[in-house]
Amino acid sequence: MKLVTSALSLTLLMYFPAVLHSQSESSDRLQVTPAPIRNTNLIDANAPAEELEKRADQMRAEKEFADALDFYRAALAKSPENPVLYNKRGICELLEQRYRNAGSDFERALRIDPRYAPAYNNLGVTEYATGKYGKAIKQYEKAIRLEPSGASYYSNLGAAYFAKKSWEKATKAYSQAVNLNPDIFDESAHSGINGQVASPADRAHFSFVLAKLYAHGGMNDRSLEYLRRAMEEGYKGVNEVYSDADFTSLRKDPRFAQLMSARPVSIPE
């Protein structure tokens, strides 16, 4: 996904669009007040900005966000007009739920480079995390115009439309995300980013939408997995699978009949 979904109990990109991304896309694109500055003695004042940035990236990957911020600050002191550094620092701020600081960093990156798509995406994530879905959509659309191959941008756009209950637009955006990267939702589930939790009904609906998208694309394994989730989450319109054209191919799979006859029990929260 070149996120992150932050109200804190679910790690799914749908509920907090991608802040961190899969290996197939840049890790700089994007679901508490930080601890006091730590380990500043580890910062070599003579180290070049590139070395400090690399060390910060490692700490961010290890979820040592406060330490990573220290190293990004040190790198920015040596390279103050680097939009990538501001974007990365913003990601750390975002992961620590310091939304105002994160937004300022993404905006600073865009003042330096107005065509830097990841910063528009991550600024959208900040808006999404604070419930400003309309503003988030505008930022995601800017990222898409600059970089239309970004699967995570479409996924994030779909999440924002889903939050607004614009089902048709959400499905269209998710479909484009899956076309660009069929693994995008599997990857987001392992991104380690906590999500802004939708209602149980919306979660079930989301799983059904993914089942439909994967069935349409002939990816039966994934479709069956999300169809099972939709039933476990209590999706009330599951019988649509018998009439929806997108499930035509899936209905021929023997595993479909087995799943539907078993009817997994809804698991209450």
pLDDT digits (tens, 9 = 90+) for 108-153: 999 999 999 999 999 999 999 999 999 999 999 999 999 999 999 9
Domain of residue 84: give its range: 25-166
Q: Does the residue 84 lie in any domain?
A: yes
Q: Does the residue 32 lie in any domain?
A: yes
Q: Does the residue 78 lie in any domain?
A: yes
According to DSSP, residue 24 is labeled T
Q: Does the residue 153 lie in any domain?
A: yes
Q: Does the residue 244 lie in any domain?
A: no
In which band, very low, low, confident or very high, does the pLDDT at 199 lie, cut at 50, 70 and 90?
A: confident
Report pLDDT for 185: 84
> In the predicted model, what is the mean pLDDT of residues 29-46?
59
- Give me the CATH number covering residue 36: 1.25.40.10
Q: Does the residue 76 lie in any domain?
A: yes
d(CA 130, CA 136): 10
Backbone angles phi, psi at 9, to 5 degrees: -155, -5
Q: Does the residue 60 lie in any domain?
A: yes
> Which two tokens mark 12?
């799914």
Residues 210, 175: contact at Cβ < 8 Å?
no
How many domains, in total, are found in the chain? Answer: 1
> In the predicted model, what is the mean pLDDT of residues 162-172?
93
d(CA 118, CA 2): 9
Report pLDDT for 189: 45
Q: Does the residue 85 lie in any domain?
A: yes
